[in-house]
């Protein structure tokens, strides 16, 4: 039973037809793994926490750098050289004191994803590495954990929801082959429009909540955002029956 204070705090969500008291209770009980505490992870974590999610496991090995500050909105110059997840936890706890944040200063890879995702209902990939996205996608498909992938570079952003609990839906490897030639550099190597990553991070938080609550799920679609022209394009994805990831694990 959700107490009256929590219901009052979430009253604007409860005015929506798609939400009810059980929705709020489910968010309170859910645990979300966010991989990456940069331009995508900061707004995603902030909006998930304030929207009612009470358990966040946040993973990132990096420390705050002055070049991060225009787009990584939880940090200030007072936080330089401090681990991002430690700063992020402190700020989120100040905003939502009841929040449970497990801040982990690690790189997410094949060796620790099982431990990091233990007990989590959904994973947000907020990294800026092509290789890492493939590793997380493969793990989520194999273990049937919903995944929300965001990316941004230059003026261009992408958003995709992978949910292998739904049959015949595309995974990340269906769209972007793992063995294709790709320059796997962080966004800092190419430049990035600061508000773009914030927009994609917010969209990730929204899709995570909708996926958890099974509200108008967007699995099987790729959203493309051009912040320079302000164009949004949505591509309907088709599962690749020869995909070396989801065709292997989803028989």
Active-site residue set? 187
Token pair 């294709």 is found at: 180
Of 204, 243, 237, the closest CA to residue 33 belongs to 204
Which of 180, 107, 166, 170 shows the shortest CA–CA distance to 137? 170
Degrees to nearest 5, angle at CA 43 with 41 and 46: 100
On whether the CB atoms of residues 150 and 204 are closer than 8 A, the answer is yes
CA angle 183, 65, 32 (to 5 degrees): 75
With vertex at residue 239, the alpha carbon angle to CA 238 and CA 241, rounded to the nearest 5 degrees, is: 130
């Amino acid at each position: 039973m959700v107490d009256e204070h929590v219901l009052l705090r979430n009253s604007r969500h409860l005015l929506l037809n798609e939400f009810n008291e059980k929705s709020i209770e489910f968010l309170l009980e859910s645990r979300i793994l966010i991989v990456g505490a940069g331009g995508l992870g900061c707004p995603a974590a902030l909006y998930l926490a304030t929207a009612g999610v009470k358990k966040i496991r946040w993973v990132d090995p990096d420390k705050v750098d002055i070049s991060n500050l225009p787009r990584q909105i939880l940090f200030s110059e007072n936080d330089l050289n401090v681990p991002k997840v430690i700063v992020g936890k402190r700020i989120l706890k100040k905003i939502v004191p009841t929040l449970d944040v497990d801040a982990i200063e690690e790189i997410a890879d094949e060796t620790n994803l099982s431990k990091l995702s233990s007990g989590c209902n959904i994973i947000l990939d907020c990294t800026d590495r092509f290789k890492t996205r493939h590793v997380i996608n493969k793990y989520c498909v194999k273990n049937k954990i919903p995944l929300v992938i965001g990316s941004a570079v230059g003026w261009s952003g992408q958003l995709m929801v992978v949910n292998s609990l739904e049959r015949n839906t595309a995974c990340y490897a269906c769209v972007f082959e793992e063995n294709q030639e790709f320059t796997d550099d962080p966004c800092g190597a190419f430049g990035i429009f600061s508000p773009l990553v914030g927009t994609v991070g917010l969209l990730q938080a929204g899709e995570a909540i909708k996926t958890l609550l099974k509200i108008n799920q967007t699995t099987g679609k790729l959203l493309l955002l051009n912040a320079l022209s302000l164009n949004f394009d949505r591509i309907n994805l088709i599962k690749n029956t020869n995909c070396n990831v989801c065709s292997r694990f989803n028989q």
